[in-house]
Amino acid sequence: MPFRLLLVALFFSGPALADPVQVAVAANFSGPAKVIAADFEQQTGHKAELSFGATGKLYAQIQNGAPFAVLLAADTATPARLEQEGGAVQGSRFTYAVGRLVLWSPTPGVVDDRGEILKKGAFRHLAVANPKLAPYGAAAMETLTALGLLEAMQPRFVQGENIAQTHQFVASGNAELGFVALSQVMTAGKIAAGSAWIVPADHHQPIRQDAILLDKGKTNAAARAWMEHLKGEPAKKVIRAFGYDD
């Protein structure tokens, strides 16, 4: 076979499912998303290209023409809004995870298992995510309100734009403790380091996280395959391992 024909034959005999999918991912879900994306590529041949950020910021990027085919939000309101505005495929929205909020310090013994440190006030700074952009930040505000501590804590706030930045503030020592996503501090089903109080679910509204197929992904086979993969048991197993309910 002539060399040129050989190259053509090799090209067309390669994987037929090598399409990429641009996925916008809420910052709290970065850990499991990376694991799921690796398995997705291995199982389907498609590559998931992940972009992380606060849900509010991702929404703004989508509105400004970002090439995302799928959104994995940290709430239900943003995907519903995109669906209502005609920027997403009707009926494609579903809850892929339910997040848990945790008060965390990288230092052992700082945070007790009932969150009493918030009442004692033996710290200078408390990291929280921007409640206008990050649902985990809104959940933190609801928790402090439920405890009757919101007004007292406000002068101590160190506010992150998203939950990833908020976690970094605590991990770096810029704040002694902070409200972060349980998924950020959990490894192999347990909190990896430091001290923590897992906030009871009744202290805030459920952090339901919805996925939706965006308008740019409606004809993208890889995007549809990603949505189906996310519903499967292998992905759900990863999601549970990072501390989410499904």
- The structure's pTM equals 0.81
pLDDT, mean of residues 45-67 = 95
Residue with tokens 């002694």: 176
More confident residue, 233 or 18: 233
Report pLDDT for 18: 65
Rounded to whole angstroms, how far apart are CA atoms 197 and 202?
Answer: 14
pLDDT score at 7: 37
Which of 13-17, 86-90, 113-117, 215-219 shows the lowest per-residue confidence on average (mean pLDDT)?
Answer: 13-17
How does pLDDT run across 129-170, given as a tens digit for each residue? 999 888 899 999 999 999 999 999 999 999 998 899 999 999
- The residue-averaged pLDDT of 53-61 equals 92
Arithmetic mean of pLDDT, 38-43: 96
pLDDT of residue 245: 85
Specify the pairing of strand 195-198 against strand 101-105.
antiparallel
Report residue 54 as tokens. Answer: 């606060």
Average pLDDT over residues 171-200: 92
Q: Given this model, what pLDDT does residue 13 score?
A: 39
pLDDT of 246 > 80? The answer is: no
- Pick 137 or 6 by higher pLDDT: 137
| Residue 6: pLDDT band with limits 50, 70, 90 | very low
Going from the N-terminus, what domains does the chain have, and what CATH number goes with each? 3-98+206-241 (3.40.190.10), 101-198 (3.40.190.10)
| Average predicted confidence (pLDDT) for the chain | 91
State the Cα–Cα distance between residues 88 and 39, nearest whole angstrom.
25
Predicted confidence (pLDDT) at residue 3 exceeds the cutoff of 60:
no
Beta strands in the chain (DSSP E): 20-26, 47-53, 70-72, 94-99, 101-105, 126-129, 157-160, 177-181, 186-187, 190-191, 195-198, 207-213
CB atoms within 10 A of CB 230: 23
CA atoms of 94 and 229, how far apart (whole Å) = 13
Taking residues 211-238, report their average pLDDT: 97
How confident is the model at residue 11, as a pLDDT? 39
Summarize pLDDT for 83-100 with one digit per residue, the tens.
Answer: 999 999 999 999 999 999
Q: Closest Cα to residue 33, out of 188, 238, 241?
A: 238
Rounded Cα–Cα distance for residues 192 and 167 (Å): 14
List residues bridging with 48 in a β-sheet: 21
Residue 10: predicted pLDDT: 36
Per-residue pLDDT at 15: 43
More confident call, 201 vs 10: 201
Confidence check: pLDDT of 104 > 50: yes
Cβ atoms within 10 Å, residue 3: 7
Burial of 194 (0-12, 13-18, 19+ CB in 10 A): middle
